[in-house]
Structure 1
């Protein structure tokens, strides 16, 4: 006896499977990165049981501020589950509270030039970008960076609260530079 399944039943079962796998991944801390700041693909949030340190690659929720609303409006960040409805960022911590950040044509941390930190004064659409003025990173805040030249990072939005750190960012399955 041959059993025929209707296309609707097959489609429903397939959709249910996709939703179940995506939900399990989400609960396990797996996220999709589709921005060019770091390789695109699947990343995992790994628990961080200490304060974020210089050199850590982290997932961090941006604060709900007018600056990040403007960044969303310009397409620099996406919607997600962080405060204000923003998506978490993947960035490298390059300075912590108490460190001096100087911003000119490029960034320097405690007098040492930061590689790949040239400052742009316009985005890819020709809209003006205003760089962070520089200064001492306040206690409890982090200065973030990406080597990608077009990255929207602390060169433009300045330090942000370390309380937004979700954990370390670990690649699972990525592609591209």
Structure 2
């Protein structure tokens, strides 16, 4: 019996060490790893790529823009400090233009909705302009139903934490 307990103890100690490291990781690593549970990008675990720059085609994490907070908090119940993961669709110097049925970015018309599937009215970005040197236009991957720059407008560089790559998706 003691041999079984000793063997179990040898197995449990590394498990507890790993669990302790995982629990301490957010404090030690900051925002190195993010878990995405929304359909904007594939659900899963994302890791920050400190060597990558923010450019068209990469996934970035950013703080909620002011224009998005009421909908995200009051309607969807997101905490105010929840980060958003989206694909950079337009970079400084690119044009983003609201049209009657969508937002045109990079020549492609991205559809919009007036209300979400629950019937809640979505904020509407209604501009047509070139992005400033400190702005990006961020889109999710699921058509009009992704809550992204089509609804809250460009994202400022100062709100972008960095570029993230999928580590494990499910």
Which interval holds the TM-score relative to the shorter structure?
Answer: 0.7 to 0.9
Tell me, yes or no, if structure 1 residue 43 matches structure 2 residue 46: yes
Q: Distance in 2 between matches of 1:127 and 1:21?
A: 37
Shift of 1:135: 2.0
Question: Does residue 123 of structure 1 match 2:126?
Answer: no
Distance 1:69 1:130 in 2: 9
Distance 2:36 2:139 in 1: 16
3-state SS of paired residue (2:161): strand
| Residues 59-101 of structure 1: CA deviation (Å, up to 9, x unaligned) | 12224x254133221117x33xxxxx42221111112233221
Q: Choose 128-137 or 24-33, whichever is displaced more.
A: 24-33
Q: CA deviation at 1:158?
A: 0.2
Mark the runs of 5 or more structure 2 residues left unpaired by the alignment. Answer: 6-11
Name the CA shift for 1:67/1:88 in 2 (closer, same or farther; >3 Å).
Answer: closer
Tell me what 2:90 maps to: 95
Alignment of 1:14-163 (within 5 A): 17-24=18-25, 27=29, 29-48=32-51, 50=53, 52-63=54-65, 65=66, 67-75=68-76, 78-79=78-79, 85-104=80-99, 105-109=101-105, 112-114=107-109, 117-136=110-129, 137-149=131-143, 150-163=145-158
CA contact (8 A) 1:132 1:158 kept: yes
Secondary structure at the counterpart of residue 24 of structure 1: helix
> What runs of 5+ residues in structure 1 fail to find an aligned partner?
5-10, 80-84
Does the aligned pair in 1 maintain the 2:63–2:82 contact within 8 Å? yes
Q: Which moved more, 1:162-171 or 1:19-28?
A: 19-28
The answer to whether the 8 A contact 1:107-1:155 is kept is: yes
For the residues of structure 2 that align with 1:42 and 1:58, how far apart are their CA atoms?
13
Asked whether the equivalents of residues 67 and 152 of structure 2 are also in contact (C-alpha less than 8 Å), the reply is no
Structure 1 or 2: larger helix share?
2
Aligned partners of 1:89, 1:153: CA distance in 2, in Å?
A: 9
C-alpha RMSD of matched pairs (Å): 3.0
Report the Cα offset of residue 22 of structure 1. 3.8
Moved more, 53-62 or 118-127: 53-62
